[in-house]
A and B are shown apart, each in its own frame.
Chain A
């Protein structure tokens, strides 16, 4: 919690609703393939287009994914839950109702353990429920919204893609905690392999409910829902903004209005999207086209046993292997922990491996816009690179260039170093020739070294490195210069 947040008389109460688009092969209630980039409306069928007479049949894999996430969040898997219809009219909804879970969800009452600024926090998970996604509408006209559009185009390729909605309890108390929660949830989803969980692209979406109450109070204040949070950073900024805004409202002696607000990333503020009076009556009722979801107990038990190691366990293991908390967190959240572990298994010292990953590999993936978990770097490659540095084959600087090549898919470090001509020059006769040339070119600097100013040797080393375009082994160059100028050989 930042000093500013702590300084106010109010406590923030934050709950998050996170939608996760599942990476099943087919949609939630029909056999249409989930593949992005198809022509509009090409990935559709009578069911996901809501053609008259069509009926939904639940996707067993989506149910399995829901149960696995629920188990990973320590939820109870409910033995009988139901799909409801959420009724409202919008052109991107083929049936003008969304199939969703309402009073009973497939997974309920779990929790997520976080560590925020060194403090352990347990955040309650209210429920994980299943629903179907809507299509996408493009409103053509100056307004860009449905009101005032000249015409609208609808693409139903996304309609019917399975979603899980993860609803937290209002247990988060700061922007930093909200961010930590979202990051951790995302890491779990990625570990389970049930979604690509890209906030920027909408395969993971987050809404935040924010309210304030006087410190020490138990009753909740009026809550505001904030939408359009497209990154962990946006979430942090929006929550911090909203806390500040509501603080101002309350300090002015005014009541906070219950409403839905839209986060404007560029302007860095929220604005009213929908007032409470406009809240829809969704007329939920059990979908008579679907039967209760009743997962067999032995199936649920087996899914529990087959869960992969979860991020918190991986972090604990990495820390017990000697990494600092922030290093372990970084490797896990970026999906690079497996590379790290493979590199260590292949002989790389843990310190070196983690530094290369958190400094260089993450930097590269940020620059290139590549998902860090998807970089083309094996643990063996990383171990080889670290070894080439430690045995002097590569300088650190050259090694960075080799890493670039490896990440660009040019081959193993050895192949990249050879093909790019980046191997360090350690050949004595070659180096001696370059050292002699440097002394000849800078006689004044050589004289200063000879007369006892050993720092002046740097200029000569630099000249050799420059002449060798960085490929000379700097330690050997240093040694040769000392031999020539100090020992008086």
Chain B
């Protein structure tokens, strides 16, 4: 592993580093505090936990370092819609007190996390990036949020996203356009662009996003971080504000596979509040992380390296396959013949569900209300004012697709395609253990480049949508940079409930790729000082 910021780099190096960043450094008045802060914001989860456990740093130090970096640089990135600084510091101090008293602490005690603004946080603004939920304060926590709190992960704030998670660039937010930390003139991807940018910009080591058709994996790819969509039903959807219920799934971001596995372990597992939650216990994916790939078969999707894929992306995917082969994996070609219909099916199923899920935003009970002479006019005015263009477009598509006379031709046909794609994967997994493809056909594009071309925007999801339709676990990890110096992501897809093999393969590939997740280049966010981390 070439990079100290790799979360896998726990061990003697980390232990020897920790001596240099003790409490004394923080009390110094000069630059050492900044160096310590930079070390804390580049450290992986295992290393942070080791330092916290050893008492070398406090949770307050860790949280303060991240909040400082957010305060200084999020004006350039706009990753956060809400920064919960006071709450985060209170939680951190509480963790520190409990640690001193020897009280039990959660598995991520003191590790900061950023949460996408579609996950409900009790008493704290949860807007889905939409005007219609401006100032909405849910009366309850999403199960994912509860589990993060139970793990004593410290929530730094709520991250920006495309409105109701509809988009692939985070330009559809009613509040801000999030910028890609690798090039502030480019988009971070979406819809979980705030979460991917927060992790890439070293505002938080971990973030939670949601993925309906690629909304974790594509921004992870564009921001040079790891993003993982669990098997549908592995992570509770309770409190995840619905876009398309049969596809929505929350999942983690991290700057390394191991970090991402920590967050996955914290949020996954059965929840009786979600009828679609899978009751089976979740194996600890961290146990097999280092098992290698020499007994694995990796299927390369033959259709995925043809036209429409940028050459830099295709090159990194081929290299990734070669690296896996070099590590002992058997590389096979697999075909997903119906995946090409995935986008069409997805853009009928998801808007259909969305048209119903978003019906509740009518001004009657919560959120925005625009008055009208009658209840009907009030509801219409509220919705016309509160929803942005892309949301309205999808509500209209979905309403049309579900209408009497069109339902069979659109919704039912789309569900048949879904069945065919599930069958494609089943056949592919007869020949391999994981499927490899690009995550996104392109690297990060310029802000505004596709904003007025919905179809071009939808094609960003071409490689991520099939796994969503099939409910499969999938992960994007950085495979290097393209010729412009922008991160390229590769996607691994595993069979249902195959998270362990997914993390195992990704971890092996990550070590071989040796990607440095610190954004660099002329228009990148100001990088943290990695001198200490590299020491």
Contacts and interface: CB of A to CB of B under 8 A. Distances in A.
Interface of A: 46, 49-58, 85, 87, 89, 91, 94-97, 146-147, 149, 152, 154, 281, 283-285, 287-291
Interface in B366-421: 366, 374-376, 379, 399, 402-404, 407, 411
A346 B419 CA distance: 67
By DSSP majority rule, is chain A's interface helix, strand, loop, or mixed?
Answer: loop
Given A52-B120, A91-B364, A57 B275 contact: yes
Nearest to B239: A53
B402 A53 contact: no
A285 B241 contact: no
A119 B48 CA distance: 83
B84 to A, nearest CB: 18
A324 to B, nearest CB: 52
B239 A54 contact: yes
B411 A285 contact: yes
Contact of A94 (B242, B245, B365): B365
A375 B119 CA distance: 53
A132 to B, nearest CB: 14
Contacts of B362: 89, 91, 96
Nearest to B274: A55
Given A51-B139, A52-B133, A96-B359, A283 B365 contact: no
B359 A53 contact: no
A84 B276 CA distance: 15
Given A94-B360, A95-B359, A152-B375, A55 B365 contact: no
Q: Which of A87, A154, A283 has the most CB of B within 10 A?
A: A283
Contacts of A89: 359, 362, 376, 379
Interface string B324-353: 000000000000000000000000000011
A54 B238 contact: yes
B356 A52 contact: no
Interface in B120-177: 120, 126, 128, 133, 136, 138-140, 142
Given A57-B275, A285-B402, A285-B407, A97 B356 contact: yes
By DSSP majority rule, is chain B's interface helix, strand, loop, or mixed?
Answer: loop
B261 interface: no
Contacts of A51: 120, 138-140, 365-366
B497 interface: no
B1 interface: no
Given A52-B126, A54-B239, A281-B404, A291 B138 contact: no
Nearest to B402: A283
Contact of A291 (B276, B375, B407): B276
A95 B245 CA distance: 14
Nearest to A285: B402
Contacts of B245: 287-289
Contacts of A283: 355-356, 399, 402-404, 407
Contacts of B366: 51-52
List 9 A-B pairs, minimum CB-CB distance, nearest first. A96-B359, A288-B246, A288-B245, A283-B402, A53-B239, A52-B241, A53-B241, A53-B120, A95-B360
Q: Which of B272, B352, B353 has the most CB of A within 10 A?
A: B353
Given A46-B139, A53-B138, A147-B374, A87 B239 contact: no
Given A96-B360, A154-B364, A283-B356, A146 B374 contact: yes
A50 B362 CA distance: 11
Nearest to A289: B245
Contacts of B404: 281, 283
B237 interface: yes
Interface of B: 118-120, 126, 128, 133, 136, 138-140, 142, 237-242, 244-246, 272-276, 352-353, 355-356, 359-362, 364-366, 374-376, 379, 399, 402-404, 407, 411
B119 to A, nearest CB: 8
Contacts of A152: 375
Contacts of B274: 55, 57
B271 to A, nearest CB: 9
B352 A285 contact: yes
Given A288-B276, A289-B242, 17 more contacts: A46-B139, A51-B138, A51-B140, A52-B133, A53-B142, A54-B238, A55-B237, A91-B364, A95-B359, A95-B360, A97-B359, A146-B374, A149-B375, A283-B356, A283-B403, A288-B244, A289-B276
Contacts of A46: 138-140
A232 B475 CA distance: 62
Q: Which of B136, B360, B374 has the most CB of A within 10 A?
A: B360
Contacts of A53: 118-120, 126, 138, 142, 238-242
A57 B236 CA distance: 13
Given A94-B365, A285-B407, A288-B353, A52 B360 contact: yes
A49 B140 CA distance: 12
Contacts of A285: 352-353, 356, 402, 407, 411
A147 B246 CA distance: 37
Contacts of B374: 146-147, 149
